[in-house]
Structure 1
Amino acid sequence: MKGYRISVIRHGRTAANDKGIYIGRTDYPLSDKGAAELAGKMDEFVYPNVARVYSSPLRRCMETAEILFPDVPVQTVDNLIEMDFGEFEGKSADELINREDFKEWLKGGVDCRPPQGESVKEIQLRIFRALREVIIDMMQEDLLHCAMITHGGIIANMLAGFGLPKIPAQELQCQPGEGFDIHITADLWQRSQAFEILGMTPYNS
């Protein structure tokens, strides 16, 4: 049975990442350091040849796509946007550590949410819709290998929620400009809403 491969890659570094603050929907661009780091990784690693890039609409993802896949068409997928951190947006863990709602949120759980933010359950539903959109597009266009540029939290929840083997989200963290290759077949997706986790991407040169 025909399979479809997606290289799911985290966007490059922003000034907010360097400051250690939570950013979800705030539309930070890549920092100069982040853009240079991605360019360096292109020299160090081999990024896959892909037919299309599916990207979160936020600038840090679109700019990452332009650097890593300069000649590849980019298609935005709104549901690949980062989680909504609500009242925690723009704040660091040090600023929040004495808040009881922050302590509760750190304990995790599918229904746990930042005040006025998104729960894991809501994020998983969005991710499912994003995956369905991408998979249908790849199958209709017969695109066998594509890339997806999104956010660290989305990647961890995507692979933990839909990936096989089952791996906790905490163990699915990746560095900027890096991520995981996944393999999807129509049968496995339709039967189980699942895909196979193949390993890390990009590849050592």
Structure 2
Amino acid sequence: MTKTSISTLRHARTTYNAEKRYAGSIDVPLSEQGRREAEEAATKMKGLRYDAIVTSRLRRARDTAQCFLTEGMPFVQTRLCNERCFGIMEGLTWDDVQTLDPPVLMISVGGDLHTVNPLHGEPFEEVWERARRFRRLLFRRFPGQKVLVISHGVFLQMFHGVLRGSNCIESLALFPANLELRRFEFSGEHLIEESAVKLSDVNEVAW
């Protein structure tokens, strides 16, 4: 049976992260701190070997990926793993969102609040469906390979849920931190192992 490894990494920090602003489809760059942290993470991960890196088309993911690329490594960019579009909320802080009228509906999952219906925003169901299409893309293009996916918080929530076999709402339970690394191992397309590595806790990791 073909063994495929899919690792995911949320992009490094931006000024929007520091200000607790919703970026979504806004193409914000990494902050200087974020770039330094991405370079440090790449150093810690130098013992890892990937056959390809796949990112969204947003700059913060692409710039993070540049720290991990090695000569000749395939580098694929796709809108399928872009961040959720937050519509009217984009560019606003969490406090700003509380003042919107009409208010944005929120649900509590995993001990956190999640915005359901921002005006002109992308519903969670559509992000989840993109994640399903992205999963199919990876297994079609990279069977038996080790792939590093660099993407965004909400998209990775949905994608992780898809990999685990969770539904859309269940997928909201865990939100990845910046530069949080998670690995999913498959036999064929059956998930056999999931593991997480906190890069802040290691000097160098190898799989």
- The answer to whether the superposition gives a TM-score over 0.5 is yes
Q: Which runs of 4+ in 1 moved over 2 A?
A: 40-48, 68-73, 98-103, 105-113, 164-175, 184-188, 201-205
Counterpart among 132, 136, 145 of residue 136 in structure 2? 132
Residues 39-118 of structure 1 aligned to structure 2 (within 5 Å): 39-45=39-45, 48-71=48-71, 72-99=73-100, 102-107=103-108, 112-118=116-122
Q: Structure 1 residue 52: deviation in Å?
A: 0.5
> What is the letter of the counterpart of residue 56 of structure 1?
S
CA distance change for structure 1 residues 168 and 50 in 2, over 3 Å: closer, same or farther? same
TM-score, normalised with respect to structure 1 = 0.83
Superposed CA RMSD in Å reads 2.8
- Number of residue pairs matched by the alignment: 196
Identical aligned residues as a percent = 21
TM-score, normalised with respect to structure 2 = 0.82
Contact between 2:158 and 2:172, CA under 8 Å: does it hold in 1?
Answer: no
1:145 aligns with 2:146: yes
> What is the letter of the counterpart of residue 81 of structure 2?
L
Q: Structure 1 residue 45: deviation in Å?
A: 4.9
Query: Unaligned regions of 5+ residues in structure 1, if any?
Result: 189-194
Whole-angstrom distance in 2 between the partners of 1:80 and 1:69: 18
Query: Unaligned regions of 5+ residues in structure 2, if any?
Result: none
- Partner SS, residue 68 of structure 1: coil
> What is the letter of the counterpart of residue 145 of structure 1?
K
- Partner SS, residue 146 of structure 1: strand
Corresponding residue number in structure 2 for 1:192: none
Corresponding residue number in structure 1 for 2:160: 159
